[in-house]
Structures are given as C-alpha cells and as structure tokens.
Chains A and B, each alone.
Chain A
C-alpha cells in the first residue's frame, strides 16, 4: 500500500460533500468535501505500489478540467485510470452547486 498527497490551486465552488464507489477489486472509494481555502487537496491510499506518476497525471488533469476547490480522499483497490476518472466525475457531479 502507498499513500500520496497532492495539492493544486482551484477556485470552483463545491456545494456539498459527496461519496462514490466501493473499496472493491478494480474499484475505489472517493470522498469529496468543500475545501475552505481555494485549494484542491487529494489524499490517495492505493493497494498497488509504484504508480505515483500515473496518479499525479490523472488527478492533475481532473482538477485542471473541473477546478473545484475540494478536499478529496481516495481509497483505491487497484482501479484503472479510467475507473478513477469516472468515480471522481461521479463525486464531482454529486457535489456540484
């Protein structure tokens, strides 16, 4: 298991907290909450070691496109980048104003 933390500037509004997914094989759990200070923070726990760079790319792209100032926590159990993006999108839509 590895744990990463990322931080990005972000200004988009996040209205409410949102939860998506399950810590099941090939899936992940996303917890998304409004962040108070115009930053997006992501904490990742993943069961698969050695993919820090892939996580950095997926998350950077997602935050750049979406722009929500959110605290995001991810519990990953071997999801592919596609599934990660899907769950992030799902949580972002639920938390949208």
Chain B
C-alpha cells in the first residue's frame, strides 16, 4: 500500500458502519433536518413484544426530512441491525407513508427528492402477511412517486437487500451500491437451506459476493453507480443520480430486454459471476 492509498484509507468515513439514523443525517445537507415519527413517538411494532421479542421504538425505519443540494428531500433509512432490517407492519407503513407524502408534495408542485437506504432481509417473518402487504404498498408507492421525481435507492451493506425489498430496489429510478452491498431475491442462507449446500455454500463469502455483491450487480447493469464505502462518496453518488434524473425507461418497464437476458442463460450449464458478466453486458442508462 502506497502512502497515498494509506492517506485515502485513513481519510475515509465509513457509511456502512453508520446506523440508519446516522446514514440519513449524513446523506442530507448539513443544517436543518427533521425526523418524522422518531423513537419518542413510540410507534413500535405491536406484534414483536407478544412474541417475546424486544421492539425498537422507531421499528427500524428512520424518516428524515432535509435537503439535497438545497432542494427539499426525504431520506428513508432501514436499520439493518434491528431484526435484520426486516420490514414489519409499522416500519413498512412509515416507509410507504413517507413516499406517499413525497408524491403528494410533487403533485402540489413542491417536489421532495426521495432517497431509500435499503438494508433489509425483506419481510419480517414474525409479522407475516402484514409485512408482505405493506411491502406491496411500498412497491406501489415507489411506482406512483417515480412518475414525478426520480426515486434513488442505496444499498450499502453489510445486510444487503433481499426478498420483497429487492423488488423495491429494482423499482427505483437509480440505484447506488458499494462493494459491500448484496442484492438479490433469496438471500444466500435461504438458497442453501432450500436447495442444499451443493447449490450454494452461504459461508463462502467470495462466492456469495461474486454472485450477488454490489460490484457484480453494477457490472451486469443492475445498479447505476458503484462507490467506495465512504460517506462523501455515497452522498455524492446520490446527488449525481438526482442530477442525471430518471432514466428514459425504468428497469421494471424493460420486460423484453430482461426476457432476452434470461433466455440467454442455459440453466443446465454451470454459470458463475464472471460468465454472467460476459452474457449480461452493462448498458449505461
């Protein structure tokens, strides 16, 4: 490592190590920020305690209003360390509600830029159908909102973004990832549990990241920006995403292109991360 590398490494401020609240606040412009439904509002899950699980007073969803480059913005951050960032009824309703507020503001002609900080294993199993229902609401809210303003998602790690919430990431107008991020429908532990260790060894971290890691997802065109785990780098990429605006076509509208991509894969053959990169070339949007 050269002296310059060392100086850069020491100057870096990790984004991954921040809590959801710290991430939301670090991302927005310094100055006036206001949290909506914070911990003192005590809107925690009504379901966890009766299952013997300690709740968190914000239910793991942090909503902060502020500004991005001087424009009105809302940062919606999921706390990955509380129950794996799982989406329960309250956390999900807070996220969908914040997105709907942003849509209402855009319809009034006063747009609020929405950033989703996704750090989640998906639905909270203890809240079952209520969690699934509210994740569907989040999807609908993202789609309704992105007609007015770009919705920018960030997957920083280390939890990653899985399950129903990986669909929310894919519905975003633009997505920012780090190398530490992971993005996929079924998490590696779930794949191993359901299909066996021969299919995927979830403890093999290089293998897991070569398949669903941020660098791979960026290389095959499922993320717009790949950045260092650094507060300024993530904050800069989010601002750049809003400057570029929404793509002409959102990923979720490109059904035929993704069908062609799937058709190019031979499920009988072995396929690793490198082979997938050759098949699915990155196209800038």
Q: How extensive is the interface on chain B, given as a class? A: 10 to 19
Produce 1/0 per residue, A1-36, CB < 8 A to B. Answer: 100000000000000010100111101010101000
How far does the alpha carbon of A77 sit from the alpha carbon of B54 in the complex, in Å? 7
Given known pairs A19-B39, A31-B39, A33-B40, the reply for A24 and B82 (CB within 8 Å) is: yes
From DSSP, what is the main secondary structure of chain B's interface residues? loop
Interfacial chain A residues near B82, Cβ < 8 Å:
22-24
Q: Which residue of B is nearest A21, CB measured?
A: B19
Enumerate chain B residues within 8 angstroms of A76, measured Cβ to Cβ: 54
Q: How far is the CA of A76 from the CA of B52 in the complex (A)?
A: 12
Write the nearest CB–CB distance from B197 to chain A, whole angstroms. Answer: 25
**Known contacts A19-B40, A31-B39, A33-B40; A47 and B54 CB within 8 A of each other:** yes
Complex alpha-carbon distance, A31 and B79, angstroms: 17
* CB proximity to A under 8 Å, residues B52-67: 52-57
A19-B40, A29-B39 known; A24 and B81 CB under 8 Å?
A: yes
Chain A residues in 8 Å Cβ range of B79 = 22, 24
Measured CA separation A76–B57 after assembly (Å): 12
B81 engages A25 (CB within 8 Å) = yes
* B97 interface hit (Cβ, 8 Å): no
Q: Scoring A residues 61 to 78 as 1 if CB is less than 8 Å from chain B, else 0, what string do you get?
A: 000000000000101110
B26 to chain A, nearest CB (A): 16
Cβ-defined contact, B56 with A23, below 8 A:
yes
Give the chain A neighbours of B53 by CB distance below 8 A.
1, 47
The answer on a CB contact under 8 Å between A19 and B38 is yes
Complex alpha-carbon distance, A19 and B22, angstroms: 12
Which listed residue (A46, A47, A75) contacts B57, Cβ 8 A?
A75
Question: Are B54 and A27 within 8 A (Cβ)?
Answer: no
B81 touches A22 (CB 8 A): yes
Contacts of A23 in B (CB 8 A): 54-56, 82-83
Residue of A nearest to B50 (CB): A1
Find the residue from B52, B53, B82 having the highest chain A CB count within 10 A.
B82
Any chain A CB within 8 A of the CB of B266? Answer: no
A22 touches B56 (CB 8 A): yes
CA distance A27 to B81 in the complex (A): 10
- Is the CB–CB distance between A17 and B56 below 8 Å? no
B45 to chain A, nearest CB (A): 11
Q: B198 within 8 Å of A by Cβ? A: no
Closest to A77 in B: B54
Does A45 reach chain B (CB closer than 8 Å)? yes
Tell me how far the C-beta of B59 lies from the nearest C-beta in chain A, rounded to whole angstroms. Answer: 10
Query: What separation, in Å, do the CA atoms of A40 and B56 have in the docked complex?
Result: 22
Query: Interface of A with B (CB < 8 Å)?
Result: 1, 17, 19, 22-25, 27, 29, 31, 33, 45-47, 73, 75-77
A-B contact pairs, 8 of them (CB 8 A): A1-B53, A17-B40, A22-B56, A22-B82, A23-B56, A31-B57, A47-B53, A77-B54
- Give the interface of B toward A (CB within 8 A): 19, 38-40, 49, 52-57, 79, 81-83
By Cβ-Cβ distance, the 8 closest A-B pairs, closest first, are: A24-B81, A23-B56, A1-B52, A47-B54, A45-B54, A23-B82, A75-B54, A19-B39
Sample of 8 more A-B contacts, CB < 8 Å, known A31-B57, A75-B55, A75-B56:
A1-B49, A1-B54, A19-B39, A23-B56, A29-B56, A33-B40, A73-B57, A77-B54
